[in-house]
Copies of this chain bind each other. A is one copy, B any other.
Amino acid sequence: MSERPHFARVALIGLGLIGSSIARAVKQIGLADELVATDASAAVRDRAAEIRLADRIAATNADAVRDADLVIACVPVGACAEVAASIAPHLKAGAIVSDVGSVKGAVLRAMCPLLPPSVHFIPAHPVAGTENSGPDAGFAELFINRWCILTPPEGIDAAALEKLTGFWRALGANVEVMSAEHHDLVLAVTSHLPHLIAYTIVGTADELEDVTRSEVLKFSAGGFRDFTRIAASDPTMWRDVFLTNKDAVLEMLGAFQEDLSKLTRAIRRGDGEALFDHFTRTRAIRRGIVDLGQETASADFGRPHGPLPKTPSS
């Protein structure tokens, strides 16, 4: 277990759900003497200042990263290259530079060539989030017992890697190190494909001729509503994920299509045994996720249920 590190100055670029959650956690734990933050949007910077997300809100990326020991770009994957270019001339030698993007190969390729060799660049992906976006959506506990995956380039400085590992552990996360390529394959199935499927089915339900939108909403408790949560995620972030992890997503989509064809065929042929066997197997997976602390054991995700009126009517 690495010791909890301390930073003289941490800089966050981007104050959406992830950036603002990191900011709250860093301040709450006292991981840095000074926390500086910025965002491309003036409205977000104003809001961040208003709710005191950081010790100082900088107007530009260049200003934010000056003298920082740790810089984290908390922006959509497609904005990473631009951030790297804007901060490169202003980074302190020896600084750790990281990100939180859901795709790692593309981030590595986009940012690495633009950053000076005097900094330690370690891409990171905290596998955590909610369907909400923006500086008000974040909360300090978001990363507790979630995994943060680091994908350091070969030959990375061991002390820098340990320091970033300690940072994420301090935020409550478990840290795992793997190659960017493997990360992109794993996340394609545990995150990107589920989002694509959810976005698809929610769109499908909204465009039917024979079933009204009102009916879809009313009877959504039959299962549909579970899909709407991740289909409500940030559109910019997810556009970038699919554009930058195309190959792995298409590969997983191929596997999904094969399996869907198999089940469709079983339905068409009335093969109850094949359906029953499949449905029995998938039941076990949830149990594994609950046992690992990645999911609540409460029924229905722990959604609240109202109380039943006990008094009989007249």
**Complex Cα–Cα for A110 and B205 (A):** 29
**Given contact pairs A28-B310, A131-B286, A243-B275, A294 touches B204 in the complex (Cβ within 8 A):** no
- Which residue of B145, B190, B231, B280 contacts A285 across the interface (Cβ within 8 Å)? B231
A124 to B276, CA, bound (A): 24
Q: Which of A117-171 contact B (CB under 8 A)?
A: 127-132, 137, 139-142, 144-147, 149, 170-171
The interface bits of chain A over 194-225 (1 if a CB of B lies within 8 angstroms of the residue's CB, else 0) are: 11111111111111101101011111111111
Given contacts A144-B305, A218-B147, A238-B279, contact A285 B172 (CB under 8 A): no
The answer on a CB contact under 8 Å between B303 and A296 is yes
Known: A302-B301, A308-B172. A283 touches B200 (CB 8 A): no
Alpha-carbon distance A295/B301, docked complex (angstroms): 11
Q: How far is the CA of A308 from the CA of B139 in the complex (A)?
A: 10
Q: Using Cβ atoms and an 8 Å threshold, which residues of chain B touch A233?
A: 279, 283
For A225, give its contact among B232, B294, B303 (CB under 8 Å): B294
Please provide the chain A residues from 279 to 306 with a CB less than 8 Å away from any CB of chain B in the complex.
279-283, 285-289, 292, 294-296, 299-306
Which residues of chain B come closer than 8 Å to A207, judged between CB atoms? 255, 259
**Copies per assembly:** 2
Chain B residues whose CB sits within 8 angstroms of the CB of A305 once the complex forms:
139, 141-142, 144
A271 to chain B, nearest CB (A): 9
Interface size on A, residues (CB 8 A): 129
Query: Do B194 and A282 touch (CB < 8 A)?
Result: no
One of A34-42, A65-73, A244-252 at the interface:
A244-252
List residues of chain B with CB within 8 A of the CB of A256: 200-201, 204
The reply on A93 being an interface residue by CB < 8 A is: no
A162 to chain B, nearest CB (A): 14
In the assembled complex, how far is the CB of residue A275 from the closest CB belonging to chain B, in whole angstroms? 4
CB distance B208 to A255 under 8 Å? Answer: yes
Q: Is the CB of A276 within 8 A of B236?
A: yes
Kindly provide the distance from the CB of A281 to the nearest chain B CB, expressed in whole angstroms: 7
| Interface positions of A (Cβ within 8 A of B) | 3-4, 6, 25, 28-31, 102, 127-132, 137, 139-142, 144-147, 149, 170-172, 176, 182, 185-187, 189-208, 210-211, 213, 215-233, 235-236, 238-240, 242-243, 246, 249-250, 252-253, 255-256, 259-260, 263-264, 266-268, 270, 272, 275-276, 278-283, 285-289, 292, 294-296, 299-310, 312-313
12 A-B residue pairs with CB within 8 Å: A147-B219, A170-B313, A186-B216, A189-B205, A193-B204, A194-B223, A194-B224, A197-B201, A207-B259, A208-B255, A227-B227, A239-B279
